[in-house]
Amino acid sequence: MSDQDNKPAEPALFSVNTLKAEAEKRIRALWAGEVALFNAFWVYGFAVVAGLSIIASPFDLLGSLIHLVALGWSLFMIKPIWLAADKYQGPQHWAVAAKIAVVLGGLSTLASLLG
């Protein structure tokens, strides 16, 4: 038996378990407000919802399901953005603006669901 046979297998670059663990870690950090306000608001909030809406546009039934996911994500993002704004160390007008935007966005999302 050679030394190569005894070497532990190197982890796959894109293993499902690694990706799942990283996604869970990021979601937990997001939910706890441990993500910078800019990233919480613009990346995880705005960009994800805008991207989902753009992807959904050309589809009928599938598009409706994607829009429903985007609406759910919008509601999910209220708490992470609010907590990130509470922890923001920069000029407070940005934290206040983020809170106002998240309240208005939440109300808009609820109106979309009810209307």
In a domain, 72, yes or no: yes
Per residue in 60-93, pLDDT (tens digit) is 999 999 999 999 999 999 999 999 999 999 999 9
Query: What's the domain range around 52?
Result: 18-114
Q: Is residue 9 part of a domain?
A: no
In a domain, 100, yes or no: yes
Residue 48 lies in a domain: yes
- Give the chain's residues under pLDDT 70: 1-13
Is position 3 within any domain? no
Q: DSSP characters for 56-115?
A: HTT-SHHHHHHHHHHHHHHHHTHHHHHHHHHH--S-HHHHHHHHHHHHHHHHHHHHHHH-
Residue 89 lies in a domain: yes
Determine the pLDDT at residue 106: 87
In a domain, residue 71? The reply is yes
Tell me how many domains the chain contains: 1
The pLDDT assigned to 11 comes to 58
Which pLDDT score is estimated for 7?
Answer: 61
Decide if 10 is inside a domain.
no
End-to-end Cα separation, the chain, in angstroms:
70
What's the pLDDT score for residue 109?
83
